């Protein structure tokens, strides 16, 4: 694939430029895939973005000594030093070479677990076990699995039948999975595999990256993959309400002179940091700039807890007093324990142990703070109503579907806000890479952008993205210019994003059909032929066909592809109310995911017959049908 020696030579040659190469977007000194891509280019090893991301994943598995999921400069240098040993060099090259066999689902799972079987975080396992035990303690379907013991490997065994994973997805994002589709009794290897497919495809639909995980990995309980997936699912739930359109009291975090649209561009992590600092400022304590180094002494947490604890002001609200007697303890671990005893008074002793606080574990401390925010935000929406209420509408279901699709493919950085996060087109270029539209990365301006002229560089990127769409991808982009993407014009941005999603979906079908081009007519013809062969009475004339609102053509098609997957008693066929149609749609989408179709569409898309999303549903089912034949 590439020579370690060549990289070492290149690193030596460019060592004076390393500081430049490894400047992270937020100037915090982490290696990003863009910098690595540049480095490989200079070593005469130009690699497409998705290959670089695979290498980054591998390097993280080997070098991430502080388990924060990122590579800092010291960690990267340490791997380079190790590579100089021939044995390590051989094994590293061997594991990278194995990565060539990547497929859309589960291609690198063996590699991922092999590279990380000794490096999973015991702290994360303990934290996740306790969180799941608490979240699902009253669920009758989980009684045979809970409570799990945090100190042994029961987590990995308990997730093996897929039920817990499905339940955790619904806990984080309610109604993602129709409970009727989960196999709960008399489980066999086949029905367990169905549950795990349902969990993986549903996790994908809520924006989790699952491209390198297969149901077999979860059944075998491979720790690194299980914990990675669980963290993504838990984070979706923790961050769900840390968003201004869902929690208008966050407006209180506006800095002086700051516009609301600037605050709305912040990620949940950035909002949490600002929330903590808002309360620390009120307490007269110094600000923090991270959830690792700055919280190790627990003192910021003491002040945060004191600010957010109920004061007994509200109706029926009892005051909770935070005891500061441990604040001055000279021992960091003891001080952390005393602080967590205070958090326990708020019902928030979750995710961290005293050791995790003192070690500054960024992932678990972030989760601890997010849980505090969700339980006691202690914010009041300012009385000033001069804000543009249109900004507070929140994303549409269509926008969320597109965003989840992008994130599930592993784009970097994570897309929190569809329009502002696409304003420099870097995400678009990665999606071009994944849909086989050739990107000349030398032509792309990369972060960090200079304060002066930075936006101009982003617009240049957007112009190039539109040009690629028109010339290489042959998209219909009439009237779309780079500045439309840069400014986040909703209609025009969605036009480009939809064509990317469509191309991605059709590529999968084309691959299954030996490279034959696929279009709407071919999909509709295949659907009707498959339904007729299975003696079904339903058919569709187009993706706008009104009969699709009942979901019966979808359910019949699933039954034709995978007999016995649909339970007839769950489907209503006559005199359908809106509620009946919605229930059919929920069931259809969950069963489709359960038989292996990676569907991003929502039940409403079927009920309201949204032709674009309807097309993706039938295309994914066609892919599943063709795969079965192969």
- Residues 561 and 606: their CA atoms lie apart, in Å, by 19
Is 585 in contact with 617 (CB distance < 8 Å)? no
**The predicted structure's pLDDT at residue 31:** 61
Least confident of 95-109, 213-227, 380-394, 430-444: 95-109
The mean per-residue pLDDT over the stretch 143-150 comes to 94
Q: Which residues touch 563 (CB under 8 Å, ≥6 apart)?
A: none
Q: What is the mean pLDDT of the chain?
A: 85
**CA 22 vs CA 26, 70, 76, 445: distances in Å:** 11, 12, 9, 15
Is 330's pLDDT higher than 50? Answer: yes
**The predicted structure's pLDDT at residue 135:** 96
Q: Which two tokens stand for residue 86?
A: 């021939």
Q: What is the pLDDT of residues 274-289, one digit of tens each?
A: 999 999 999 999 999 9
- The b/e string for 209-231 (b: 16+ C-beta within 10 A; e otherwise) is bbbbbbbebbbbbbbbbbbbbbb
pTM of the model: 0.82
The mean per-residue pLDDT over the stretch 239-245 comes to 91
State percent of the chain over pLDDT 70: 80
- Residues 364 and 350: their CA atoms lie apart, in Å, by 9
- Residues 529 and 525: their CA atoms lie apart, in Å, by 6
Is 531 in contact with 523 (CB distance < 8 Å)? no
The mean per-residue pLDDT over the stretch 558-577 comes to 96
Residue length, the chain? Answer: 630
Q: Which two tokens stand for residue 524?
A: 């509709």
Q: What is the pLDDT of residues 524-534, one digit of tens each?
A: 999 999 999 99
The mean per-residue pLDDT over the stretch 29-37 comes to 56
State percent of the chain over pLDDT 90: 70
**The predicted structure's pLDDT at residue 404:** 96
Q: What is the pLDDT of residues 52-69, one digit of tens each?
A: 556 666 666 666 666 555
Is 16's pLDDT higher than 50? Answer: no
- Residues 244 and 250: their CA atoms lie apart, in Å, by 6
The mean per-residue pLDDT over the stretch 63-79 comes to 61
The mean per-residue pLDDT over the stretch 348-367 comes to 96
**The predicted structure's pLDDT at residue 393:** 80
- Residues 39 and 15: their CA atoms lie apart, in Å, by 11
Q: What is the pLDDT of residues 377-417, one digit of tens each?
A: 999 877 766 677 677 788 899 999 999 999 999 999 999 99
Q: What is the DSSP string of 226-258?
A: HHHHHHHHHHHHHHTT-STTT-GGGGGGPPTT-
């Amino acid at each position: 694939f590439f020579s370690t020696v060549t990289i070492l030579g290149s690193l030596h040659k460019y060592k004076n430029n390393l500081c430049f190469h490894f400047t992270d977007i937020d100037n915090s000194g982490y290696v990003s895939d863009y910098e690595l891509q540049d480095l490989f280019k200079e070593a005469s090893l130009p690699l497409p973005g998705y290959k670089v991301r695979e290498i980054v994943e591998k390097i993280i598995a080997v070098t991430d000594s502080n388990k924060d999921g990122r590579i800092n400069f010291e960690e990267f240098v340490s791997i380079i030093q190790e590579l100089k040993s021939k044995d390590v060099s051989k094994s590293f090259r061997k594991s990278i070479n194995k990565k060539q066999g990547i497929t859309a689902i589960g291609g690198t799972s063996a590699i991922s677990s092999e590279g990380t079987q000794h490096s999973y975080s015991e702290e994360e396992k303990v934290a996740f076990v306790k969180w799941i035990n608490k979240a699902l303690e009253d669920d009758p379907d989980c009684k045979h699995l809970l409570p799990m013991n945090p100190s042994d490997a029961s987590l990995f065994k308990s997730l093996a039948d897929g039920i817990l994973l499905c339940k955790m997805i619904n806990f984080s994002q309610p109604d993602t999975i129709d409970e009727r589709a989960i196999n709960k009794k008399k489980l066999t290897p086949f029905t367990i595999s169905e549950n795990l497919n349902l969990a993986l495809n549903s996790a994908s639909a809520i924006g989790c990256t699952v491209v390198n995980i297969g149901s077999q990995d979860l059944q075998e309980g491979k720790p690194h993959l299980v914990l990675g997936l669980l963290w993504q699912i838990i984070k979706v739930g923790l961050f769900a309400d840390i968003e201004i359109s869902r929690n208008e009291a966050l407006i209180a975090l506006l800095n002086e002179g700051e516009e609301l649209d600037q605050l709305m561009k912040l990620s949940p992590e950035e909002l949490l940091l600002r929330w903590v600092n808002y309360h620390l400022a009120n307490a007269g304590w110094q600000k923090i700039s991270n959830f690792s180094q700055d919280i190790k002494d627990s003192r910021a947490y003491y002040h945060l807890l004191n600010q957010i604890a109920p004061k007994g002001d509200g109706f029926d609200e009892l005051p909770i007093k935070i005891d500061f007697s441990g604040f001055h303890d000279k021992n960091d671990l003891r001080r952390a324990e005393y602080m967590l005893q205070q958090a326990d008074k708020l019902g928030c002793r979750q995710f961290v142990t005293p050791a995790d606080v003192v070690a500054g574990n960024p992932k678990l401390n972030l989760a601890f703070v997010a849980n505090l925010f969700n339980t006691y935000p202690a914010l009041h929406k300012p009385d000033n109503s001069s804000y543009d209420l249109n900004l507070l509408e929140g994303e549409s279901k269509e926008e969320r579907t597109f965003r989840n699709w992008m994130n599930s493919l592993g784009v970097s950085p994570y897309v929190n806000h569809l329009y502002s996060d696409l304003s420099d087109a870097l995400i678009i270029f990665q999606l071009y890479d994944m849909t086989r539209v050739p990107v000349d990365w030398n032509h792309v301006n990369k972060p960090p952008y200079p304060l002066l002229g930075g936006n101009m560089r982003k617009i240049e990127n957007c112009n190039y993205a539109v040009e690629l769409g028109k010339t290489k991808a042959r998209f219909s982009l009439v009237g779309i210019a780079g500045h439309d993407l840069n400014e986040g014009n909703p209609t025009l941005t969605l036009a480009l994003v939809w064509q990317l999603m469509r191309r991605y979906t059709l590529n999968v079908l084309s691959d299954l059909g030996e490279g034959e081009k696929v279009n709407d007519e071919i999909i509709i013809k295949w659907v009707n032929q498959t339904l007729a062969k299975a003696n079904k009475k339903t058919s569709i004339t187009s993706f706008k066909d009104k009969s699709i609102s009942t979901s019966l053509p979808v359910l019949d098609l699933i039954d034709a592809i995978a007999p016995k997957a649909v339970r007839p008693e769950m489907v209503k066929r006559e005199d359908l109310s809106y509620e009946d149609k919605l229930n059919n749609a929920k069931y259809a989408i969950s069963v489709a995911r359960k038989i292996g179709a990676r569907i991003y569409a929502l039940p409403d898309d079927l009920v309201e017959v949204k032709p674009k999303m309807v097309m993706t549903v039938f295309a994914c089912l066609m892919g599943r049908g063709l795969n079965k034949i192969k």
